[in-house]
Amino acid sequence: FWFLMLLSILGQQGGIIGGVGQAMAITFPLTEAGEIKNRILSKKVTTTIKLNEAKAKKDFDQLKKLEEKLASIPHFPSSRDDLIWSILIASFTIILLINGKFSLIEKFCIILVSSFTLITILNLFALQSHGSWAIKMEEIVHGLSFSFPEAINGSNPLLTAIATFGIIGVGASEILVYPYWCTEKGYGAFTGKRNDSSDWLYRAKGWIKVMKWDAWGSMIVYTFCTIAFYLLGASILGRSGLLPAGGEMIQTLSSMYRPVFGEWAQMIFLIGAVAVLFSTFFVALAGQSRMAVDALMTSGILPQEKKLRTKLIKIFGIIFPTLCVMCYAFFPKPVFLILISGSMQALMLPIVGFAVLFFRYKLSDSRLGYSKTWDIFLWVSFVSFIVIGVYQLYSKILG
């Protein structure tokens, strides 16, 4: 099952590298067809936003003009500038994965992602001063009610929510990859091999506190980011009927910033999108390369040799980005690829939960002193994973 999840993750990363390619193609089109496509898409998105503002203001004269303008917008020409950019970025990623030199880009991406996140949250608050886009309290209350919207085009909203749950914040893939982060950042090395000494126990408790800070910090960040993006999407995309799909995904998503930032919206979103998506793409493939090698070695297919492991990680650092680009080239539907991976990761969560319980009760040192409160929440998480996984399995296979 892990192998199937790996394939879905490569598809997901294909969607992500496609998103980076789209962002770059909008910023730096490579062909005349690409430039024309950008202009037409931008005109379509801008007109749709203005049309919905006219509806809210009940400006029927303006509404009629905008409807005519929207109807007159021609179909955009076919362009694969996004694919060319995806290939170039994947090639750059391969070089980074082989050389392992990402520290400068890592720091740069952290600054950009943090700035983009702050801008997104400020954008959400500023949106409340725009009457036609402001989010009302009754809408939030309705959204938190125990009900789901009606299915659109045969899609089940609950399944979409579960697929999204599988990748929002810390999904199954991130949970599996996190130990590599701890190892390569030196958590285990600083703690040292387990022994009965009080010094080791002191170091272990200290580094567990660091991991708790990791967990709580990431939870706060991804929770508020998710809420901000969700509310922006519901307010702008939901009311406008704009659907971020295929080659229009990035251009459409940038519309969430237009009511507040106007013409600057696209550039702000593109810079943030490149930083967020590229860093996600790089880190995910770095982790999956290590996991694939370890899977081959722990299963006995390959011998557990340090030099061989280092070599294979670099080889997978070439293979995986190539496969991701191929996924996007032959199936350029980023949203669908990402949701498929989310579904697979939602199914993987119960397996991860069982592994965590096994480590907790069979392999952890009792001196570390786990509280009953932590154990209760651990079991609650495990049961929720089981419920989600079983429902997902039933809906996909038997439903």
For residue range 95-143, list pLDDT tens digits in order: 888 887 656 666 776 777 788 888 888 888 888 887 778 888 888 888 8
Banded pLDDT at 91 (limits 50, 70, 90): very high
Q: Is the pLDDT higher at 107 or at 374?
A: 374
pTM of the predicted model as reported, rounded to 2 decimal places = 0.79
The number of C-alpha atoms within 13 Å of 144 and in the hemisphere containing its C-beta is 8
pLDDT reported for residue 379: 93
Most confident by average pLDDT, 83-92, 166-175, 238-247, 338-347: 83-92
| pLDDT given at position 321 | 94
pLDDT band at 169 (very low <50, low <70, confident <90, very high): low
Task: Output the pLDDT for position 318.
Answer: 93
Could you read off the pLDDT of 174-202 as tens digits, one per residue?
Answer: 788 888 878 877 787 788 888 888 888 88
Instruction: Give the confidence band of 322 by pLDDT, cuts at 50, 70, 90.
Output: very high
Residue bearing tokens 């202009």: 39
Beta bridge partners of 155: 152
Query: pLDDT digit string (tens) for 40-70?
Result: 888 888 888 888 878 877 777 888 888 888 8
Tokens at residue 112, please? 């950009």
DSSP letters spanning 284-327? HHHHHHHHHHHHHHHTTSS---HHHHHHHHHHHHHHHHHHHHHH
Q: What is the pLDDT of residue 397?
A: 57
pLDDT tens track for 259-293? 888 777 778 888 888 887 888 888 888 888 988 99
- Overall average pLDDT of the 317-342 stretch: 86
**Around Cβ 389, how many Cβ atoms within 10 Å?**
21
> Residue 153: which pLDDT band, with cuts at 50, 70 and 90?
low
Question: Quick one: pLDDT at residue 358?
Answer: 92
Average pLDDT over residues 210-221: 85
Mean pLDDT of 137-154: 77
Give yes or no for residue 227 having a pLDDT over 70.
Answer: yes
pLDDT at 370: 79
Strands (E) located in 186-260: none
On average, the pLDDT of the chain sits at: 82
The kind and range of the H/E element at 354 are helix 334-358
* Structure token digits, residue 201: 């126990």
